[in-house]
Copies of this chain bind each other. A is one copy, B any other.
Amino acid sequence: MSGKQQFDDAVVINGAMNVFWQKGFAAASIDDLTAAMGLSRSSLYKRFGDKEGLFHEVLATYNSRVLHRMGLVKAETRRQEIEALLLDFVTNTHGSQKPSGCMLVRACAEITELPPRGKAVALDGTERQRAILRGILNAAVANGELRSSADVEALAWHFLGVLQAIMNLPQIGATASDLRRMVVSAMLAWPQAI
C-alpha cells in the first residue's frame, strides 16, 4: 500500500490564492480554481470538501503569512516599528507579481455574502492584525514611548485603516511614492509629546 498525497498542498493553495485574491469568493469559479491550482476537479473536492472549505483554508494561509510578516518587523522605537510595518507593505505590494489589492480586504468587502466559515476567518484575520497593532501601542505605553492617556484603541483602528488603504489605493491610481508620503502623514497621528 502507498497512501501519500501526490501533489503539494502549498502549491495548490498558492494557485487558489491567486484566483480568490483577484476575483473574490463568489466570482471565482471551480474551473478558474482547478486551472490555477493545476489540480483536477475530483482531487479538489476530495482534498477540500467544497468551495467554501478551499476558501477557508486559503484565506487562513493568507492571514498567517500577512500576520507573520507583520510580526517580523523590528525597530528601535515602537513608532519606527509601526512606520516600518506600513512601509513594508508599500514596497512589497507594489511591483510584485502577485495580484493587486489584498485578499483579506477584498474578503471583508464582500463579507456579508460570504459563507459562515469564510466570514469567520476573515473577521479573525482583521482582528488579529488589529491585535498586533494594539500590542505594539501597548508596548509603547509600557515603554514610556507613549503617554498612558493615549487612545490606544483609536490609534489601532487608525493604523489598521492606513494599512488597508495601502493595499487598496494602488488599485485606484496611487503610486508607491504617493503611499510612502501618505505613511509619513499618517504617522503624525502618533502623539508627539510624552
Question: Which residues on A are within 8 Å of B, measured CB to CB?
Answer: 22-24, 26-27, 99-101, 105-106, 108-113, 122-123, 126-127, 151, 153-155, 157-158, 160-162, 164-166, 168-169, 171-174, 178-179, 181-182, 184-186, 188-191
Contact = CB atoms under 8 A, between A and B. Distances in A.
Given A99-B112, A112-B171, 15 more contacts: A24-B109, A27-B110, A101-B112, A105-B168, A111-B172, A123-B172, A126-B172, A127-B172, A151-B181, A153-B181, A154-B185, A158-B185, A160-B165, A160-B169, A186-B186
Contacts of A185: 151, 154-155, 158, 189
B178 A108 contact: no
Count identical subunits in the complex.
2
A49 to B, nearest CB: 22
Nearest to A191: B188
A188 to B, nearest CB: 5
A178 B100 CA distance: 29
A118 to B, nearest CB: 13
A178 B153 contact: yes
A108 B108 CA distance: 13
Contacts of A182: 154, 157-158, 161
Contacts of A123: 172-173
